[in-house]
Amino acid sequence: MKFTATLLLLLSMGLSAAAQADARNACVQDLEFLPDFLLTNDTGANDHLAQKGQAHFDAAFAEALAQANQVTDVKQCRKVIQNYLRSWRSGHLEVIVTAPAKKVEPAAETTETTDAPQPPKVDTRAPSLRMLSDQTLLLTVPSFGAAYTKPLAALLQQHHAQLANHPNWIIDVRNNGGGSDSTYAQLLPWFMADGWLEIGMEWLVTPVTIDAQASVCALFMPGDSACTDNIDPVLAVMRTAETGSYIALEEQAATFKTVEALEPKRPSKVAVLTNKHCASSCEQFLLTAQQSFSVKVVGQRTYGALDYSNLRPYALPSKQLTLYYATSRSRRLPDMPVDVLGVIPDVYLAPAQDEQAAQAEVERVQTWLEGGRL
CB 28: neighbour CB atoms within 10 A? Answer: 18
At residue 327, φ and ψ (nearest 5 deg) are -115, -5
How far is the CA of 131 from the CAs of 88, 138, 371, in angstroms? 44, 6, 17
- Per-residue pLDDT at 8: 56
The answer, as to whether pTM is greater than 0.85, is: yes
Residues 35 and 175 in one domain: no
pLDDT tens across 118-134, in order?
666 778 899 999 999 99
Burial 45-60 (b: 16+ CB within 10 A, else e): bebbbeeeeeeebeeb
Residues 80 and 188 in one domain: no
96 part of a folded domain: no
Residues 70 and 140 in one domain: no
Mean residue pLDDT of the chain comes to: 91
Strand ranges (DSSP E) for 205-362?
246-247, 254-257, 269-274, 295-299, 308-315, 321-330, 347-348
What residues pair up with 209 in beta bridges, in sequence order? none
Residues 285 and 144 in one domain: yes
What's the burial of 61, exposed, middle or buried (CB within 10 Å: 0-12/13-18/19+)? Answer: middle
The whole domain housing 44 covers: 15-88
Longest dimension (CA), the chain: 87
| Residue 108 banded pLDDT, cuts 50, 70, 90 | very low
pLDDT tens across 256-276, in order?
999 999 999 999 999 999 999
285 part of a folded domain: yes
How far apart CA 290 and CA 240 sit, in angstroms, is 37
308: DSSP letter: E
CB 143: neighbour CB atoms within 10 A? Answer: 24
**116 has a pLDDT exceeding 60:** no
Residues 294 and 218 in one domain: yes
Nearest residue to 173 (alpha-carbon basis) of 259, 256, 270: 270
How far apart CA 322 and CA 26 sit, in angstroms, is 13
pLDDT tens across 350-370, in order?
999 999 999 999 999 999 999
Residues 76 and 136 in one domain: no
Residues 68 and 141 in one domain: no
Give the CA radius of gyration of the chain.
25
**Which residue, of 35, 64, 88, is where some domain finishes?**
88
CATH number of the domain within which 291 lies: 3.90.226.10
Residues 64 and 134 in one domain: no
| Residue 109 banded pLDDT, cuts 50, 70, 90 | very low
How far apart CA 284 and CA 305 sit, in angstroms, is 10
What is the number of residues in the chain?
374
Residues 166 and 84 in one domain: no
User: Cα 299 vs. chain centroid, distance in angstroms?
Assistant: 20
- Per-residue pLDDT at 16: 78
51 part of a folded domain: yes
- Whole-number percent of the chain with pLDDT over 90: 81
268 part of a folded domain: yes
184 part of a folded domain: yes
**Which residue, of 57, 88, 119, is where some domain finishes?**
88
- Per-residue pLDDT at 193: 95
Angle separating helix axes 74-86 and 54-68, nearest 10 degrees: 170
